[in-house]
Amino acid sequence: MCNLLKEESSYDSPKEYCGIFGVFGHQDAARLTYYGLYALQHRGQESAGIAVSDGENVTEKRGMGLVPDVFQERDLNRLKGHVACGHVRYSTTGSSVLANVQPFIIHFAGHTVCLGHNGNLVNAAELKRRLEREGSIFQTTMDSEVVMHLLTRNIHMGFEDGLVDSLKQLQGAFGFLFMTEDTLVAARDPHGLRPLCIGVLEGGGYVVASETCALDLIDATYLRQVEPGEVVFINKKGLRSVKPFPQKPTRQCIFEFVYFARPDSVVYDQTVYEVRKRQGAQLAKEYPHLKGDLVMPFPDSGNYAALGFAAASNLPFEMGMIRNHYVGRTFIQPTQDMRSFGVRVKLNPVRELIKGKKVIIVEDSIIRGTTTVGRVKNIRDAGATEVHMVVSCPPHRFPCHYGIDFSTKGELIASKHSVDEIATLLGLDSLNYLSLEGLLESSRTDHGGFCTACFDGKYPVPVGENQGKFCLEK
């Protein structure tokens, strides 16, 4: 892959850690999980795995790559059972190698336990050091493995009590999916930092997923979200809920609404599509004097906020850039005289639409700014007389330690530059961010508050000095 394209496709866009999907009570649980992971592919594109149980035996398939690359028809035919645990991953804590592909599976005391994790444990390094002093041997560089070592040390308490006691020792963000031979378990951290929901299958059975779009694909009915601090046990007796943690203020990741979640999902009991339109409308309210000839997004991330902004501003909405939907992961490297290839291979401007126009671009976020420079330049090269940008969230000035890949402050363009300086660096006539108050207003929910640490530095879970060093400690 050429350097320009690598930068365009993987570096500037923020990445979520993972997506998880589980099934209990369906005779073809592996196939349903395959479809569920396919719907959650946007949450992780580096690896995928499925473990399935028939009530006695657990079989699994894991591999590097996208879901349809890892699983073939013969794999799904081999994975027999009515309980399944699936995972798609983007690696940031832990390297991108086969040993780190989830579900993470252990065989202990005559039983098998599988784990899929979405999030990040901020005390993982501390726990790992303690466990190693006590004799634990780690096989991966994932923070998730800490949970399994804690569980094996508590298994004498019984699986359920041992699991709960292990979870109580964790700090940070987690949406967990555990599977044994006959049980599926969903757990969410006390602040509810990462999303997780439960669905019901037609004819019986349950589904657990990071987002509801995965339920839609298999015709499951959304039941509810897993509540912050809740552990849900699902087996042949049905669904049983416990809340073993001390109550904490709810701090759900607001960036799910801005960027991560699919627009057709319901997250925190709100439709993401509608929230993003409200964010765009709020931008128009905050910048009423910003006028242009057309409003356009950089597809696909800014589409829905752009619809809201255009409608509220009474300006025409246009798709001024066209996305190539057939871009793969590898390309023949272009010659040196093919300037901006990495930008143009994915997005190309409609010149006749843009030429001679004052353009307002709606973007969901600017993290590092590396790809935005090329995209803005392409708009200017297409003949735009002015290029303004509005962003449907505040500037990212602080790193995320709870499951998004901008984990150091130096990566963030807004941590080093003022808004006017960023506008100059990106080649814009003006740059206008949504206020934090406006973001909260447009993302309103009856289900608790939000984590806004990446905008204001107010971390709901304290972050120690060793955060981010887990994978380096062998």
Rounded Cα distance between 165 and 154, Å, is 7
DSSP assignment letter at 98:
G
Output the DSSP codes for 69-85: HH--HHHHHH--BSEEE
Nearest to 191 by CA among 239, 144, 246, 148: 246
Residue 2 assigned to a binding site: no
Rounded Cα distance between 207 and 244, Å, is 22
Residue 451 assigned to a binding site: yes
Output the DSSP codes for 200-236: E-TTS-EEEESSTHHHHHTTPEEEEEPPTT-EEEEET
| Catalytic residue numbers, as ranges | 18
The label of the residue with tokens 């930092």 reads 193
On the 0-12 / 13-18 / 19+ scale of CB atoms within 10 A, 56 is exposed
Structural contact between residues 337 and 8, judged by C-beta atoms closer than 8 angstroms: no
* Backbone dihedral angles phi then psi of residue 224, each to the nearest 5 degrees: -175, 170
Tally the C-alpha atoms within 13 A of residue 126's C-alpha that lie toward its C-beta.
Answer: 12
The label of the residue with tokens 């912050």 reads 228
Residue 114 assigned to a binding site: no
Residue 454 assigned to a binding site: yes
Residue ranges of the binding site: 253, 400, 451, 454
Residue ranges of the binding site for [4Fe-4S] cluster: 253, 400, 451, 454
